[in-house]
């Protein structure tokens, strides 16, 4: 549903053709969705999209190592993060291998920093193992006289600020998901029943639980009129 919603919102904003791509990072080999559709009350909404399964790249590790595309490094970090769940010593070794490899790819300083940040956030370690890795990086830079990450500048942000940033991201994601769901309800209503009244929009804005909004999407797809939708909404989802 989100792929359909995001595609419509991007098209509505820019009035340009939009390509939606699904990148799947899970470990379910057979789960490969490449479409979404629903059909109710004579209305049909659907979308088909290209799909990439990161798990498939496990058999292409050699190609990833020689590929200078930054996304190849991100995929490698993702795969080794999954493979070393519960095996932090092995993860530290792979994290060191990937970080060290950044220097050998001829990347610019900013690229190395950004890729290091991604690897660092993906491949979390215990404090002891992280300190061990930091020492390796510092020694490596001193030997190569390439202080791109010297003094662990990428850890210069205080832990409290980092935690605050992550919390802010999660809140932002939740707010975005809620607004997407509200917009999708309005899209279905407009396509089936006409212009959405302001009071209905206000009612939708009061809903702050994503699962409830997903149920309201179904109501929007089955109601025979705006009045029926509004009455059912008031009876089931709005507290006076």
* pLDDT score of 96: 94
* pLDDT score of 79: 94
* pLDDT score of 162: 60
Calculate the average pLDDT of the chain.
82
| Per-residue pLDDT tens over the stretch 72-87 | 999 999 999 999 999 9
Full-model pTM: 0.58
* pLDDT score of 157: 42
* pLDDT score of 195: 83
Express as a percent the part of the chain with pLDDT over 90: 17
Express as a percent the part of the chain with pLDDT over 70: 86
Predicted confidence (pLDDT) at residue 151 exceeds the cutoff of 50: no
**Predicted confidence band of residue 158 (pLDDT cuts 50, 70, 90):** very low
**Predicted confidence band of residue 146 (pLDDT cuts 50, 70, 90):** low
Predicted confidence (pLDDT) at residue 240 exceeds the cutoff of 50: no
Three-state secondary structure of the chain: CHHHHHHHHHHHHHCCCCCCCEEECCCCCCCCCCEEEEEECCEEEEEECCEEEHHHHHHHHHHHHHCCCHHHHHHHHHHHHHHCCCCHHHHHHHHHHHHHHHHCCCCCHHHHHHHHHHHHHHCCCCHHHHHHHHHHHHHHHHHHCCCCCHHHHHHCCCHHHHHHHHHHHHHHHHHHHHHHHHHHHHHHHHHHHCCCCHHHHHHHHHCCCHHHHHHHHHHHHHCCCHHHHHHHHHHHHCCC
- Residue spans per domain, the chain: 1-57, 67-156, 158-240
| Per-residue pLDDT tens over the stretch 10-66 | 888 888 898 988 888 888 888 898 898 888 888 888 889 999 999 999 999 999 998
């Amino acid at each position: 549903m989100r792929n359909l919603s995001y595609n419509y919102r991007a098209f509505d904003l820019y009035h340009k053709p939009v390509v939606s791509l699904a990148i799947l990072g899970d470990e379910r080999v057979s789960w490969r969705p490449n479409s979404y559709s629903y059909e109710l009350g004579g209305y049909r909404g659907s979308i088909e999209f290209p799909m990439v399964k990161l798990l498939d790249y496990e058999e292409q590790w050699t190609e990833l190592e020689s590929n200078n595309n930054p996304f190849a490094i991100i995929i490698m970090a993702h795969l080794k993060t999954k493979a070393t769940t519960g095996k932090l010593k092995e993860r530290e070794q792979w994290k060191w291998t990937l970080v060290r490899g950044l220097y050998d790819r001829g990347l610019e300083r900013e690229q190395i920093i950004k890729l290091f940040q991604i690897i660092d956030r993906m491949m979390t370690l215990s404090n002891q193992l992280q300190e061990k890795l930091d020492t390796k990086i510092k020694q490596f830079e001193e030997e190569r006289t390439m202080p791109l990450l010297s003094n662990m500048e990428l850890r210069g942000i205080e832990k409290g600020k980092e935690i605050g940033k992550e919390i802010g991201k999660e809140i932002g994601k939740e707010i975005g998901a809620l607004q997407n769901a509200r917009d999708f309800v309005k899209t279905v209503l407009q396509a089936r029943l006409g212009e959405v009244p302001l009071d209905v929009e206000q009612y939708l804005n009061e809903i702050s639980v994503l699962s409830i909004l997903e149920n309201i999407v179904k109501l929007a797809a089955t109601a025979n009129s705006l009045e029926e939708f509004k009455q059912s909404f008031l009876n089931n989802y709005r507290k006076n």
